[in-house]
Amino acid sequence: MHCAISEILYLQGFGTRRVCAGLIQQGRVTVNGQPCTDPFAEFCMDGLAFTVQGQPWVAHAKAYLMLHKPMGTECSKKPSTWPSIYTLLPAPLRQRPVKGGQPGVQPVGRLDQDTTGLLLLSDDGAFLHRMTSPKHHVPKVYEVSTKHPVDSRQVARLIEGVVLDDDPKPVRAAACESTGECALRLTLTEGKYHQVKRMVAAVGNRVETLHRSRIGGLALPDDLAPGQWRWLGPEDLELLRA
């Protein structure tokens, strides 16, 4: 898709159309390594490399990201107590215009402030719906450390199903295994409020730490440190679809 460079900057979240045009006219934008001062110069947006005030960027029609969520952060733009995960993202990702919705990328579900691990974000509404809808049964894997030793009875009950206070229907783990004396690996295909903590409490134990290691076929990379983010590539998106 060919667009004026000012429109490309706007769609990527670098400000209003007027602000983007001003940045270009002031010589603060380079495209493919060359200065660009014409706001109406057209380029193919997909994969376009440019810089804005020295910040390198590659244009994406839709944003698909993974973030290694650290401890002590909230998945909200208006956090109540802890810093927001959005402070870990560059401004363009927070400001991308979204037709009919809130600007910027949105998290695919939420993790509690004391939960760490793989968090996906996007501005693609269809992607957000597919990844969060219980109809699609996208598995999410959690590494759990518990206060008390885990026994085979607790594992069996989590697989068979436990009843939570707000739902008379049993909630089941898609898979569950003990990974240590006080450790579990739990796979869920739905998302309820504090679900892992409440399920573990229902079998007589308590969650001490909680870390999401995988969504679908996509695992949190070992080289992505807490607080770091990266774009999802085509192979990553294929793993999520699978």
| Residues labelled as active-site residues | 112
Run of H or E including 234: helix 234-241
CA distance 90 to 94: 7
Contact 68, 225 (CB under 8 A): yes
CA distance 241 to 79: 31
CA distance 241 to 218: 9
- 97 burial class (0-12, 13-18, 19+ CB within 10 angstroms)? middle
CA distance 3 to 43: 6
